Chains A and B, each alone.
Chain A
Amino acid sequence: MNWFVNIFVAPFTEFSFMRHALGAILSLALGCGPVGTFLVLRRMSLSGDALSHAVLPGAAVGFLMYGLSLTAMSLGGFLAGLGVVVLAGAVSRLTPVKEEASLAALYIISLALGVLLVSIKGTSIDLMHVLFGTILAVDDPAILLVAGVATVTLLTLAVLYRPLVTECFDPGFLRAVSKSGSVVHLVFMALVALNLVGGFQALGTLMSVGMLILPAVAARFWAVQVWSQSLVATLIALASGYFGLLMSYYWELPSGPTIVLTAGLFYLSSLCLGPHQGFLSRLVPKKHLQN
């Protein structure tokens, strides 16, 4: 039993930076699991990626004005993400252009703006740190931010659960019976932006998309219902964070990519082994067909 503790617990008892990293990644997983599941169900997986880039100019403005300030960069990032979501929604409502297309157009403008802003200051190295955050450098305020994001996400989802599920299933129906359809959609996209901002504190903008999408796509092979898929996604995200950190600790690998690749590994094995339409389950004949 002693060896077990030595391998799986000791790094976290010895170093507080490991505990901080674990705390941040676990909080992140709580919010990203369900939000990612809804994103995947609504066939908007790539919108998450687009939004993660849209966050950049806001974070850059926050950085330029207040330096490496957590509050300024997070708030700036969130506002920029929200702006792109609202604009894309408005464009899709007022013109025949689909929301996906306007989002793609707006995020690339937003990204270019961010790169421009950071370059004006002339410190390109800091851009790298915005894009690839440092989970090993998480401090108390950053954990509070990520935990706060998870809390807000879970509470909001609890309130919006029914309309959201309805909208995933039949957006036309929700729009027909209630006027709240577009509001629900906007609030949900705001949640996505919020989780990306939380993730960018821990893993960096590009990496946090991995935590949002990979566990959710993997969960699809293990569970059918929305609630159970969210639960499995959260568990996979938790496990990726924990084992990713351990691997980074024992095998001298950079932490952010290791965590995301662990989630990727979960996805690939779910793809093969998952009981719901995984590769292997397709090879085994189903019972009710034999009759």
Chain B
Amino acid sequence: MRWVIMIALFMFLLPGPAEAGQPLNVVASFSILGDMVKNVGGDRVKLTTLVGPDSDTHAYEPTPTDARVLAAADVVIINGLGFEGWIDRMVKTAGYKGKIIIASHGVKTHVMIDEDHGGKRITDPHAWQNLANGRIYVTNIEQALSQADPAGAGVFKANAEAYLKKIAEMETWVKAEFAKIPPARRKIITSHDAFGYFGLAYGVTIMAPTGFSTASEASAQNVGKLIRQIKQEKIKALFVENMTDPRLIERIAKDAGAKPGGTLYSDALSRPDAPGSTYLGMFHNNVTKMTSAMAIP
């Protein structure tokens, strides 16, 4: 008889579907998606971000707390395009049965060379680095939230529209800033090859010392080639990102006579006290730093 009571108790403890009036439990895979969900969902959403600010999504290790949060989620939003390699396994372990929303759905993807896996051609997952794609993300998020919480559809739509307008304003500003720089000077070097979409969208040539993943170690030859390249092309804009080893970039800058231009945010937002703590703040920070470094004579 006792086990029947036990089972009944467990049944009671299991999470039920979202009831009206309660906030929607949304899990976003990383900080940039989290910021978008916050903007669209507002108060109607209880948001959990799995990979927090300043952390590397490529190298993320799920914790038991994360799995518990995932199991209790109403909506799970991920970037897709192979960015969260760990998500399938984690969803299975956590026992999450709902739908997984792929925020990048409908984005025109492009291909990048994966240096870590023998130069294989893979889909570049960093699509949010183009603001036009960011608008697709926001629309996808709005639809997903409205489907899960039809009562809030009106609020979500209004929030999304206001946010989309801000994104469009930022896009106009970014294009205007780069228009001030002569095309031959629109080149940057950064330690993490996550700006493929950014480069294509705004006409900036992106070069990297190591491949696109943060996991591989540089060889003396790569570094030497890069220094020659910086000297030849007279690149001034040299950037350290928020999670790779900054010492290597500083060494290269010193050798090539360039200057490190500061921190760019690419895969993760910064902590709240730094300038890259929101999606739009990240663009403002990155573009200001890039253009001011490119303008150095």
In chain A between 8 and 46, which residues have their CB closer than 8 angstroms to a CB of chain B? 11, 14-18, 20-21
Known interface pairs A17-B251, A124-B56, A124-B59; A253-B218 also in contact (CB < 8 Å): no
Q: Is the CB of A254 within 8 A of B59?
A: no
Q: B140 at the A/B interface (Cβ < 8 Å)? A: no
- In the bound assembly, the distance between CA atoms of A21 and B247 in angstroms comes to 13
- Bound Cα distance from A134 to B244, whole angstroms: 12
Q: Find A250's partner among B214, B221, B243, B248 (CB 8 Å cutoff).
A: B221
Q: Closest chain B residue to A127 by CB distance?
A: B59
Of B68-76, B175-183, B222-230, B282-290, the one touching chain A: B222-230
A125/B246 in contact, CB under 8 A: no
Shortest CB-to-CB span from A26 to chain B, Å, is 15
The answer to whether A139 and B54 touch across the interface, beta carbons within 8 angstroms, is no
Contact A17 B221 (CB under 8 A): no
Contact A122 B54 (CB under 8 A): yes
Residue of B55, B224, B243 touching A249 (CB-CB under 8 A): B224
Q: Are B250 and A254 in contact (CB under 8 A)?
A: no
Binary contact readout A148-186 vs B (1 if CB under 8 angstroms, 0 otherwise): 000000000000000000000000000000000000000
Complex contacts, B217 vs chain A, CB 8 Å = 132, 134, 254-257
Q: Report B-chain residues with C-beta under 8 Å of the C-beta of A248.
A: 219-221
Q: Does A98 contact B (CB under 8 A)?
A: no
Q: What's the Cα separation between A138 and B247 when bound, in Å? A: 8
Contact of A119 with B250 at beta-carbon distance under 8 Å, contacts A17-B223, A134-B245, A255-B219 already known: no
Contact of A68 among B215, B247, B254 (CB under 8 A): B247
Q: Does A1 contact B (CB under 8 A)?
A: no
> Smallest distance from the beta carbon of B170 to chain A beta carbons, Å?
28
Nearest opposing residue in chain B for A122, CB measure: B55
Is B244's CB under 8 angstroms from A125's CB?
Answer: yes
Chain A residue with Cβ nearest B216: A254
- A252-B55 contact in complex given A15-B255, A119-B61, A134-B245, C-beta closer than 8 Å: no
> Which residue of B52, B214, B250 is within 8 Å of A139 (Cβ)?
B250
Which chain A residues lie closer than 8 Å to B254 at the CB level?
16, 139
Report Cα–Cα, A136/B219, bound state, in Å: 8
Residues 51 to 66 of chain B near chain A (Cβ within 8 Å): 52, 54-56, 59-61
Establish whether residues B221 and A16, one from each chain, have CB atoms under 8 Å apart when the complex forms. Answer: no
Q: Is B160 engaged at the interface, CB distance under 8 Å to the other chain?
A: no
What string of 1s and 0s marks CB contacts (under 8 Å) between A116-149 and chain B?
A: 0001001111101100101011110000000000
Count A-side interface residues using an 8 Å CB cutoff: 35
Q: Which residue of A lies closest to B221 (CB)?
A: A252
Is B255 a contact partner of A139 (Cβ separation < 8 A)?
no
The reply on A61 being an interface residue by CB < 8 A is: no
B52, A252: Cβ atoms closer than 8 Å: no
Q: How many B residues face the partner with a CB closer than 8 A?
A: 30
Distance to closest chain B CB from A121 (angstroms): 9
| CA–CA, A210 and B104, complex, Å | 45
Q: Find out whether the CB atom of B56 lies under 8 angstroms from the CB atom of A20.
A: no
- Chain B residues with CB under 8 A of A252: 219, 221-222
Against A, the Cβ 8 Å flags (1 = close, 0 = not) of B23-65 are 0000000000000000000000000000010111001110000
Residues in A whose Cβ lies below 8 Å from that of B250: 137, 139
Asked whether B243 lies within 8 Å of A15 as measured between CB atoms, the reply is no
Chain A residues contacting B54 (CB-CB under 8 Å) are 122-123
With contacts A125-B59, A249-B221 taken as known, whether A138 is within 8 angstroms of B245 at the C-beta atoms is no
Tell yes or no: B238 within 8 A of A by CB. no
Q: Which residues on B sit within 8 Å (CB–CB) of A245? A: 220
B207 contacts the other chain (Cβ, under 8 Å)?
A: no
- Residue of B61, B222, B224, B248 touching A18 (CB-CB under 8 A): B224
Query: In the complex, what residue of chain B is closest to A142 when comparing beta carbons?
Result: B247
Q: Which of A241-262 contact B (CB under 8 A)?
A: 245, 248-258
Interface residues of A (CB under 8 A from B): 11, 14-18, 20-21, 68, 119, 122-126, 128-129, 132, 134, 136-139, 245, 248-258
Q: List 21 A-B contacts (CB under 8 A).
A: A15-B223, A16-B254, A17-B227, A21-B220, A68-B246, A123-B54, A125-B59, A125-B215, A136-B223, A136-B248, A137-B247, A137-B248, A137-B250, A137-B251, A249-B219, A250-B221, A252-B219, A255-B220, A256-B217, A257-B217, A258-B219
| Beyond known contacts A68-B247, A136-B220, A136-B248: 7 more, CB 8 A cutoff | A122-B55, A123-B54, A132-B217, A134-B245, A134-B247, A248-B219, A255-B217
